């Protein structure tokens, strides 16, 4: 792949557009097979959730990149100071070379195709390490990508955790990892040996704030959608909700009603996604048991969904000693934390590691501005959840413990490109005025003019 990158260091726009079109056609042709493979890996993954949350944003991202690629590739003109005239300056956007992408299990299609789209649009060769926890999807993607791309353009690695560890130690020109904060630290250590630049998308505990006057039915329905999609196995799912103390019980009822509208039943319901495997289901049940043992009030909203399922569940009277308040939940469990003043909610969030997403529910414009100014997070939705990720013209990325770097849209193109500054001078050389020997009258005039 390095040899191929050296042989074609700057693929033209037409070639990149062909790559993106081949990727788009493959996704359209393999739509049903991909839905079936993901469902098989999860035991049950709602077909509509796969279409809405994986196929649709993947296709939209390809379309957006294809539509804007020629403009993104165009060198940008930059100013040259008077002292350095006559000259010109520009920035050219050059492919990095070979990009590595480590893909998690929770969205095994979208979190492979999104980075692949940005890296190909930027003209790179790409290696993907697909998740061992979604074997059917990983094998299908490996087969289909090998069918449409030569091995020195797109290459797929499969295997267990040791393969992922070896993959992260390769001397990539850029490495993008999506997954847990703990594994992200390991990836960063491995990449340090080669000084490999990183984009880390790590998740964390994304809060939602319910204001003192927002209609609770509005807030509860939108939070319930964000929490129940993919059974909460989403890096930007609401991880806990800050609710005004006086509105807590009313919010519980509004949330319960929203969940029951979405899922009148769980048993045999094709709309409700299962937890991906018994190990993850056991982890979530352990978190519930820990919270209950420490005094939390557990409110299951529906009957249990089976061995690898878990019903949407609210947790009240939680505290910082509980695992559900220390770890990213990654499931349909939702702690509620009461607050008295909006300042208290901000302080609660700001005392903790910076989250990947923050959600505020309230229609007061002044309070919305305060949320944006007084909290830090990778991204924000005002009066919604999750859907900022699907906006192709917005950057997506974390901050602090929730990650570093951005991709999606133009930011993805820039992440996978070297923005190379170029200074251009032709025959006439005014810089001779500042060459030695120093101390000439002309140099003293230059100092008087420019050192002020």
Which is nearest to 164 in space by CA: 100, 116, 229, 235? 100
CA distances from 341 to 69, 357, 364, 434 (A): 47, 21, 15, 62
Outline where DSSP puts E strands in 255-373.
297-300, 313-316, 333-339, 357-361
Catalytic site residue from 49, 228, 235, 381 = 235
| Length in residues, the chain | 452
Catalytic site residue from 49, 54, 201, 411 = 201
Question: In the annotation, is 287 catalytic?
Answer: no
3-class secondary structure, 180: coil
Question: In the annotation, is 201 catalytic?
Answer: yes
What tokens does 56 get?
């649709």
- C-alpha–C-alpha distance, residues 268 and 277, integer Å: 17
- C-alpha–C-alpha distance, residues 36 and 45, integer Å: 9
Cα-only R_g, the chain: 25
What tokens does 392 get?
């192709």
Do the Cβ atoms of 392 and 61 come closer than 8 Å?
yes
CA distances from 6 to 1, 95, 160 (A): 9, 11, 31
Do the Cβ atoms of 39 and 131 come closer than 8 Å?
no
Strand arrangement, sheet containing 313-316: 297-300, 313-316, 333-339, 238-244, 206-210, 357-361, 379-382
Do the Cβ atoms of 46 and 56 come closer than 8 Å?
no
Catalytic residues: 201, 235
């Amino acid at each position: 792949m390095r040899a191929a990158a050296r042989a074609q260091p700057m693929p033209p726009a037409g070639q990149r557009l062909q790559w993106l079109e081949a990727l788009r056609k493959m996704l359209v042709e393999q739509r049903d097979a991909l839905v079936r493979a993901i469902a098989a890996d999860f035991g049950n993954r709602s077909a509509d959730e796969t279409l809405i949350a994986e196929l649709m944003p993947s296709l939209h991202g390809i379309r957006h990149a294809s539509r804007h690629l020629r403009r993104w590739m165009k060198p940008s003109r930059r100013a040259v100071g008077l002292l350095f005239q006559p000259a010109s300056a520009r920035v050219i956007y050059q492919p990095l070379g070979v990009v590595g992408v480590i893909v998690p299990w929770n969205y095994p299609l979208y979190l492979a195709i999104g980075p692949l789209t940005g890296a190909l649009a930027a003209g790179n060769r790409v290696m993907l390490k697909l998740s061992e926890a979604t074997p059917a999807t990983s094998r299908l993607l490996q087969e289909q990508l090998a069918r449409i791309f030569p091995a020195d353009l797109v290459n797929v690695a499969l295997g267990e955790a040791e393969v992922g560890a070896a993959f992260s130690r390769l001397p990539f020109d850029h490495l993008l990892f999506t997954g847990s904060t703990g594994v992200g630290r390991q990836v960063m250590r491995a990449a340090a040996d080669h000084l490999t630049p990183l984009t880390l998308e790590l998740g964390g505990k994304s809060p939602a704030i319910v204001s003192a006057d927002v209609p609770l039915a509005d807030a509860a329905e939108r939070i319930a959608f964000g929490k129940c999609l993919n059974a909460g196995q989403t890096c930007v799912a609401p991880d806990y909700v800050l609710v005004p103390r006086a509105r807590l019980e009313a919010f519980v009822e509004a949330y319960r009603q929203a969940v029951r509208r979405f899922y009148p039943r769980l048993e045999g319901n094709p709309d409700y996604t299962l937890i991906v495997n018994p190990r993850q289901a056991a982890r979530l049940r352990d978190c519930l048991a820990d919270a209950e043992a420490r005094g939390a009030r557990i409110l299951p909203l529906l009957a249990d969904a089976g061995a690898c399922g878990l019903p949407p569940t609210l947790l009240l009277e939680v505290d910082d000693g509980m695992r559900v308040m220390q770890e990213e939940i990654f499931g349909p469990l939702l702690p509620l934390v009461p607050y008295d003043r909006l300042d208290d909610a901000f302080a609660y969030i700001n005392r903790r590691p910076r989250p990947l997403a923050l959600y505020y529910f309230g229609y007061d414009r002044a309070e919305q501005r305060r949320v944006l100014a007084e909290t830090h997070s990778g991204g924000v939705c005002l009066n919604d959840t999750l859907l900022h990720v699907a906006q192709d013209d917005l950057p997506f990325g974390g901050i602090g413990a929730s990650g570093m770097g951005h991709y999606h849209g133009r930011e993805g193109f820039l992440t996978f490109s070297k923005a190379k500054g170029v200074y251009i001078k032709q025959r006439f050389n005014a810089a001779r005025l500042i060459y030695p020997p120093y101390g000439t009258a002309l140099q003293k005039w230059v100092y008087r003019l420019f050192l002020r």
